Each structure stands twice: as C-alpha cells, then as structure tokens.
Structure 1
C-alpha cells in the first residue's frame, strides 16, 4: 500500500508555490481582477509556469517537462485552491496535458511544458469522465460546431477539440470564436466556443484521450477542493482567535469550537480521499475507484467549509471586500465541474457492483 504522507520533495514544492502566491496573488488583487474584463492573471501564470516550471510538471523530461507525478501536481493544486488563483493550471497543465500524453503529440507537449502555449480541452466543464462530449463535426480537416461552458477558453492558444469522427483535433484558438459567458466562479471563467470550418490537425483518437484527461482532472480537482477547504478552515480559526466579544475571543465559545472541530474532521477526510486519488493516478492502481471516491466526498466537504467560513466571519464575511466569497464561488463551481458528487457516487456503485436499489 502506498504512503499517502507528503514527501520532503512535495513539501518543498508546496513552500515554493505558496511563497510565490503569497507575493503575487493578493486576495484584493484577485477580487479586483474578477471585476475587470481580464479575469486571468497572465503574469502570475507566467511566473508559475516558467519560473517554477509547473506547466510541464506531468510532462516527461525527454519532452522538456519535469517528469513528476500526479502527487506533485496535487500539491500544486492544493496551493492554487487555497489562494483561488486565477490561472489555467488545471485546464492546461493537467487536463489538456493528459489528453496530449494519450495521443503522444510531442511537439504540442513541448510547447505546453515551456508555457509558450496554453492548451484547453474543448469540452464543457461539467462533463464527467466517460460523459458525452462530441458536439463538433469534422469534414476534410475542418471543424464546425459549438461547445458551451468551456473553462479557461479565453486564455487558450490551442483548443483540443473532440469531433464526431472519433478524432481529437488541435485548433488554433484564433480560428475559433470564443465568447465569454457569466461564470459562477469568475476566477475560472467559461466561454462558448464556435467553430465555423476551422482548420484542425488530427492528434489521435478522442475517446481514450478525453477519458484519460477528464479522469485525471476529476481526481486532481479534489486536491484543489482540499486546498480551498483547508484554507477556509485555517483563516476562520485565525479570525475567531482575533475577534473578541464580551472581552473574550469568539473562538473560545463552545458552540463555535464544536463547529470548527466537525469541519476539521471533514477536511481531514477530504485530505485522505484527495491524496488517495492523486496516488492512484500516479501508480495506476484502482484509479477509477479512487477518483470516484474523492469526487463523491470532495464537493460537499469543500462547499461546507466555504459556507462555514463565510458564516463564522460574521458581518465582514458578507462583504465583497472580504475574499471568503471567492472560495465559496470556487467551491460551488467545483461542485459541478467534471461531474457532480451524485454522478460520481453512481459511477462508484457500478465499479464496486453495488447498484442503487
């Protein structure tokens, strides 16, 4: 059985990512950016992708990547979730990268590893692993169709588009019409992608590539939700130690202690599920079960942590100036991303041969 504890290398990676985010991802700046026309932070993405080399974390060294595993990528996503960083790491460095690894396209992988190109799989954000995703027609190398709810499409240079002929095509984002839509989570914007005879280069079979990409995305999304929940709990405990009422810290009241203790238990359970999913993706053992378990548990736990953080921050937590609402929006949006908790429970029931009555 694998050791799910964090290694020294993983902790060192965490420290590097957290340090950079502390310096470059101030909550006030994130809030201001979500209210602007440019929700992504290109400078932060460049620093993460190029200065630390996170864009190529899952890409083999022979393709100019870091040759790391999903465990290291999970640590990165924990920190990005904690900071609610407005960067396309999950969509480009995980989902798109996994699709390209399945297809074996070395040229695009090298470009993603160097962060000279940002890739996005042109599939709606709510599609679970194994879900239906082909809405585009292919004819003589040209693609026509519309895909709704594509996360981070506005930040993409290359779109990876599954088509009705069973192929996965690389399409330059400039050849598509990308229309931003109102997103529940403004730090991970969604868009509608329209292709009208756009030229595409066939990379390989869409079926296995999309399944692998969405499975890895769902498994590592649990780590983002873990970081979000743990950050919400940590900030809430800190606030309740500082906030006083009747000349004593609010955190000393028994009722609040009970709520925080229950929340800590849920976050601990989420950590176990997320780490198990990341390890299963890295080793290839019981991967489908581990991912389904993680996502069945992660969404409710992350949403509850964000909701409790907002309520326990009192009046200040209800204001737009406080960053707690960023975590609540990300938690709510993540609860719908890559399959709902209910969808993953149904998948898990089928995997372990325990169908619903």
Structure 2
C-alpha cells in the first residue's frame, strides 16, 4: 500500500509498482496481442470480457484503490495509474477507466459499500453515466429527472463503458430539482459509432427506471466532482502508456527500416523528431505521476493536478501517435498495423473528461491567474 505522506512528491515507481507493472504487462502480452485487438475492433464485441476477467481474477487489479474492508486490494490510485499505463500501452479493450476508476471513485466518495465490493472484485462492471467529454467543474447534469412517479426519465449520450456495464451511476435531478446520484440496473444502451473502437460509447435511455439514491444535494455534486477529477488525473497515465508505446515502437522501427542504404533513424530530421518526443514523454511521465499521487493522497490540490495533467497529456499523446503513424511510412497508414488504434485512443482521450483548452481555462481559474 502506498504511503499517503509522500505520494505527491515521489514521482519514482516503487518496487511494488514495478512488480505490478511486470505482471500486468505479461498478462496483456499473453491475452491481448495487438492482432487480436485489431480483429476485435471489426467484430460486434469490441470489449474483451475474458481479458477483464483475467485482470480481475488472476491479478486482482480491478479494485486497487478500494480498502480491504470493502473488498478491494487496499492499495491506492498510484497503483491503479500503473495499470492504466500498461492498458494504454496495449490499447487494451477493457472497461477499466469507466469501472475501476470513474465509477469506483464515485462509489468511494459516496461511501456506497453495498455495490463497491462487487465492482472492486470485477464481478460487476459499473459506469458513470455522463457523456465521456464531461469535464470536472461542469454543471450538474440535468438530462435525467425523477418524475412524480418516483422513477427516472431521460437520455444520456456518448457514455463510455456502458455497453458492458451491469450498473450505472446516474446523476439526476429529483422532483424538487435537487441533485442526486442513483444506482440504476435497468437501462437500454444503444451503441454509437466511436472513434476509439477499443472503448465503445453508447447512448442510454431511462424511461421510467427505478434508481437507488446513494448521494443527494451537495453530496451528489461533490461525489460527481470527485469522480471526474480522479478520472481526469488518472487518464493522463493511460495517455502516458499510449505515448510510450508510440515512442518505443517508432524508435525501434526507424533503426530497422532502410532508405538510400541507411537506417531511416540515422537521418538528422528523424533523430530530432524522436528526441523532441522523448523529452515530451519524460515530462508527461512526471505530470501523470504527480496527478496520480495527488489522487492517492486525497490532496486538496487534486483539481489543479488533474487540470494540469490533461492540459499537457492530451497534446503529447496525440503528437506521439501521429509521429508513430508518419515515421512508420506506408505501413503506418494501413488497417493491418496497430498504429491507428493508438492514434484513435489518443485523439479520443484528448476529448474525454474535458479538452486541453477547457482544462487550461480551469487551471487559470484554480490558481487565480488573470489576464
């Protein structure tokens, strides 16, 4: 378990975190090769439920941030961030961000101990029912309302990981217009075309659906904000994994590919592009680790760390994926090569939980920066 006294300042990986990384990477290499992920994106079942079960049953990483008394591993968001790095590196099609991060953070904030053990064990996939682009500090959603019959009515668009979820955490306004967060298990999820095929989105319809309220009023607002801020902070670790894959794979490729009798990587222009990318990825690692540390420590600076992480990570992950496509030459533009998976993941993530521009604007307000 991480020591909360040093999670914000220590950006290095502990021995436990490195060991965890090794186990997750080995499992992904064995169970989620890129060829299988590419094939899955063209199927009707883009999410790898068998891989999800392996992550839950064999490694127990679906509840890392949940205390042991509530059925979790008793670790922290730092360890969860390490798993996200590896999932990003593999472009793994599992609902980890939606269930093990966003939904779990909401359940922890609401102290919802009835549902939490099932989510922590991976037995139940849960999803936070907000549009995937919803940023921290957004107004409380009003598209779902509790009517006079006491049931929930409304629609929600572009919700991540809802297609595989058995439970939704739905922000809704009650009959008096007061915020509430409800657990819903009876819903209709309609698939929509998603840019990132490894993380499918869905539209949700609630038409007279019963919901169990787990937070109300200011508590519901605070719970939703805690989930979104934690999700934005930890998303940077997934983006780091994407960028690391792009940098390492591209560097290896330009050493092997020859033009004019020389390795492409020996050309000065290519060297400069990869050197600049290496610096950016190193900076991204520091930013992502700092954000994960703030989440693990329950720091009051989490909103600042999350905004800073997303303001920086989104751009770097996209640039890294673009460089991978371009520097792989013709093969990088083909459907058979996995580079497009990472470009789509990076681009989708750059919009998720708030765009970089929105986070920069939020950061300016958070640190009282006036122009």
Shorter-normalised TM range: over 0.9
The counterpart of 1:17, out of the listed 24, 28, 52, is 24
- Corresponding residue for 2:180? 167
- Corresponding residue for 1:101? 108
Q: Which whole-Å CA distance do the structure 1 matches of 2:123 and 2:274 have between them?
A: 44
Q: How does 1:227-266 map to 2 (within 5 A)?
A: 227-266=241-280
Q: Which whole-Å CA distance do the structure 1 matches of 2:114 and 2:65 have between them?
A: 15
TM-score, structure 2 as length reference: 0.94
Count of aligned pairs: 354
Deviations 1:86-113 (A, max 9, x none): 0000000010001111111112001111
CA contact (8 A) 1:96 1:160 kept: yes
Deviations 1:173-215 (A, max 9, x none): xx21110000010111111000000111111132111100000
Q: Which whole-Å CA distance do the structure 1 matches of 2:150 and 2:94 have between them?
A: 31
User: Structure 1, unaligned stretches of length 5 or more?
Assistant: none
Q: Choose 63-72 or 245-254, whichever is displaced more.
A: 245-254
SS in 2 for 1:299: helix
Matched, 1:223 2:275: no
RMSD: 1.0
- Corresponding residue for 2:163? 154
User: Structure 2, unaligned stretches of length 5 or more?
Assistant: 1-7
Q: Which whole-Å CA distance do the structure 2 matches of 1:349 and 1:23 have between them?
A: 44
Matched, 1:275 2:283: no
Residue 339 of structure 1 and its aligned partner are, at CA, apart by 0.3
Residue 149 of structure 1 and its aligned partner are, at CA, apart by 0.6
Residue 61 of structure 1 and its aligned partner are, at CA, apart by 0.3
Q: Which whole-Å CA distance do the structure 1 matches of 2:193 and 2:23 have between them?
A: 33
- Corresponding residue for 1:320? 335
- Corresponding residue for 2:135? 128
Q: Which whole-Å CA distance do the structure 2 matches of 1:261 and 1:134 have between them?
A: 47
Matched, 1:64 2:64: no
SS in 2 for 1:194: strand
The counterpart of 2:54, out of the listed 37, 47, 58, is 47
SS in 2 for 1:265: helix
Q: Choose 52-61 or 200-209, whichever is displaced more.
A: 200-209
Matched, 1:194 2:208: no
The counterpart of 2:215, out of the listed 204, 217, 224, is 204
Q: How does 1:345-356 map to 2 (within 5 A)?
A: 345-355=360-370
Residue 269 of structure 1 and its aligned partner are, at CA, apart by 0.9
Q: Choose 132-141 or 67-76, whichever is displaced more.
A: 132-141
Residue 314 of structure 1 and its aligned partner are, at CA, apart by 0.1
SS in 2 for 1:168: strand
Residue 135 of structure 1 and its aligned partner are, at CA, apart by 1.2
Q: Which whole-Å CA distance do the structure 1 matches of 2:263 and 2:30 have between them?
A: 30
SS in 2 for 1:54: coil
* CA shift in 2, pair 1:18/1:253, >3 Å: same
